Structure 1
Amino acid sequence: DHISQIYLFCASIASHTSWAIDYTDKMLMFDHENDLLRRLFKDIEEYLRQQAEQYLKQASHCKDYAELFKQDQCG
């Protein structure tokens, strides 16, 4: 499943609850644009932090592996 979250901006949340109830595990509904923007910012920031942590771990692993092949300089 490639969809992690659905963000829905609408004028009236109440008018969409009948069909939206089936998607509550993935959907967030907003009727104020500032609330939507705050949530998007928070979720994107969290995603990017998680990605950065994974890349740092991978880089550390690659560095440790490269150290196995390090040789003294000649001359």
Structure 2
Amino acid sequence: SLDGLLGSDPSQYPDENPLADKGGGSTPTPAEVQQYLDGLVDYGAIQLDDSYVYRGVDEDAADSADAPNAHIGTSPAYHRK
């Protein structure tokens, strides 16, 4: 019945995406997706993505012809607790 579903407390369930971990070694993993979102992936690993902005601290990773968008040290990962 819907009463049981609507009356349950959603905080009792884990706050995670069950589809993110595909198992079996598939990629991208949730950790790889987070590194991309944080701008910490080296430009050498990014292909055909003109919107990607490198935000890490490795100046060598950002100092190349393939790195048109780089904002050194601005990754949100550095501000997380």
If the length of structure 2 is used for normalisation, what is the TM-score? Answer: 0.25
Q: Which has the higher relative contact order, 1 or 2, with Cα contacts under 8 A spaced 6 or more apart?
A: 1
Q: TM-score when scaled to structure 1?
A: 0.26
The structure with more radius of gyration = 1
